Amino acid sequence: MMPYTGPPLRILLISSHEECRDTLQQALAEAMTGQFQLFWVSLPEVAEKRARELLPRIIFIDDALIGYSASRIVRRLRQQVPKAAYIIVVNPSNTREAQRAILEGARAFLLKPVDSQELVETLEQILASADVDEEPGTERTPHKRKGKAIVFAAPKGGTGHTTLAINTAICMYRQTKEPVALVDADFFSPAVDLALNLHAQYTIQDVLPRVSHLDHDIVSTILASHTSGIHALLAPPPRLSHYSIPVPQIQEIVAGLKEFFAWEFIDLQSFLDETAIAFLDSADSIILTVLPELTNLRNVRLMLDVFAQRGYSKGKIRLVLNRWDMRGAIPAKEIEKYLHMEIAFRIPDDQPLATYSNNRGIPLVVSHPKSALGKAFRDFVLYLKEQCARIQENPDETMAQKPSFLTFWRE
């Protein structure tokens, strides 16, 4: 028997014949010592939808499908679930169809009736090669990882919080080599896909049906891989009607990703509806981006009022002053006095470079690492790591007395 110690192995069988399912079920039970889940689809026309929902690790395809060839099914499914391993189950007289399926991307074929020993050898080869091809940044099992979820927020667009979130994520991965996830939680005007030049097939919508049973395969399939090494969970395309996610599912997404990623950075929309509040409630820290402009400061102050009403501790919030040295900027000391909070970090002004970087879809820490902005982002990551390490050593620090924003503002 083949020892298997990973999470339950999701297996999908596409066959028009119930006896094929029973035979494979018995062979798998004889071949494996670990857990597996066998799902069966008898109608080839619904196979694509089912495979997309399940994201199985292994897909068995019977060659005796009614109205469909196995090679055609492989070709179509690989467009939907490219990371699955496809195995064709064929009659000894139909090896030609197996060869055609292999040309379409199948990994192996088994002759009917399926022999448990042959099944063991095939699965061992496939699972071993999957380990070799593992994507960087995610792990096969959670291993009880407890990452940190950090929300980047701002009271309106144009404050630079998306640019800060993206470049922070990349710098964090480069400095720590720990897995980093970037979540686009701006459902009004998503921008992470454009800023990273990503054209992913999946979005956060695809996580929702699977959020209660996230595992490595689901995470590595749905989150888009960026060349910098980070992984991105993208927002749905912008639409006229607002898209929202139930609060419990947001909590599950944030908590679930923390099991796979050491750092989870969330780029939040500016409108604080129930969805946005759920992300903020679930976060370990909030990075609030401030511009040295009077209108922006008033909006930041109102946002801090909301945070106070939610009961967020003072240690949970960090003010980052963006473009602090721009012409005509309100001095930092005046900003701190107005907001009744210290500024945690300052980002210099280089709006042309930031705009150029976003328009190209190449983060500036990649394209211009030696620029003043690039250095500031790297220094911000050092600051962030120091703060998180200090809080980890003294966990009561973030649960200190609640900020007296309301008291100050009512004066």
Phi/psi at 285 (nearest 5 deg)? Answer: -145, 155
Domain of residue 88 covers 9-132
Of the three residues 132, 165, 200, the one that is the final residue of a domain is 132
Q: Is pLDDT above 60 for 383? A: yes
The pLDDT of residue 397 is 53
List b or e across 248-271, with b for residues whose CB sees 16 or more CB atoms inside 10 angstroms: ebbebbbbbbbbbbbbbbbbbbbe
Residues 127 and 172 both lie in one domain:
no
The pLDDT of residue 133 is 41
- Of 48-52, 177-181, 240-244, 359-363, the one with minimum mean pLDDT is 240-244
- Of 215-224, 293-302, 390-399, the one with minimum mean pLDDT is 390-399
User: Does some domain include residue 347?
Assistant: yes
pLDDT band at 378 (very low <50, low <70, confident <90, very high): very high
Residues 94 and 192 both lie in one domain:
no
| Digit-coded pLDDT (tens) for 32-53 | 766 788 888 888 888 888 888 7
User: Does some domain include residue 138?
Assistant: no
- Determine how many CB atoms are found less than 10 A away from the CB of residue 43: 13
Residues 88 and 207 both lie in one domain:
no
Residues 268 and 370 both lie in one domain:
yes
Residue 164 · residue 289 · CB < 8 Å: yes
| Digit-coded pLDDT (tens) for 127-138 | 876 543 443 334
Cis before residue 113, ω within 30 degrees of 0?
A: yes
Residue 281 · residue 253 · CB < 8 Å: no
DSSP 94-117: GHHHHHHHHHHT--EEEESSPPHH
CA distance 299 to 305: 10
CA distance 411 to 393: 36
Residues 98 and 233 both lie in one domain:
no
- Of 90-99, 150-159, 206-215, 381-390, the one with minimum mean pLDDT is 206-215
CA distance 300 to 294: 10
Tokens linked to 186: 């701006």
Of the three residues 132, 165, 199, the one that is the final residue of a domain is 132
Residues 22 and 120 both lie in one domain:
yes
DSSP 158-216: TSSHHHHHHHHHHHHHHHH---EEEEEE-SSS--HHHHTT---S--GGGTGGGGGG--H
User: Does some domain include residue 139?
Assistant: no
Residues 126 and 157 both lie in one domain:
no
| DSSP-based three-state secondary structure for 29 | helix
Q: Tell me which of 314 and 254 has the higher pLDDT.
A: 254
User: Does some domain include residue 4?
Assistant: no
Residues 278 and 203 both lie in one domain:
yes
Q: What CATH number corresponds to the domain at position 275?
A: 3.40.50.300
User: Does some domain include residue 329?
Assistant: yes
Q: How high is the mean pLDDT of the chain?
A: 85
Residues 76 and 204 both lie in one domain:
no
The strand pairing partners of 198, in sequence order, are none
Of 251, 309, 314, residue with least CA distance to 283? 251
Q: What CATH number corresponds to the domain at position 108?
A: 3.40.50.2300
User: Does some domain include residue 365?
Assistant: yes
Query: Can you give the pTM of this predicted structure?
Result: 0.68
Q: Is pLDDT above 60 for 395? A: no
| DSSP-based three-state secondary structure for 345 | strand
User: Does some domain include residue 141?
Assistant: no
Residues 168 and 128 both lie in one domain:
no
Tokens linked to 206: 């695809």
- Of 9-13, 36-40, 241-245, 407-411, the one with minimum mean pLDDT is 407-411
Q: Count up the domains in the chain and report the number.
A: 2
Tokens linked to 121: 């050898």
Residues 127 and 153 both lie in one domain:
no
Residues 117 and 169 both lie in one domain:
no
User: Does some domain include residue 42?
Assistant: yes
| Digit-coded pLDDT (tens) for 66-101 | 788 999 999 999 888 888 899 999 999 988 998 899
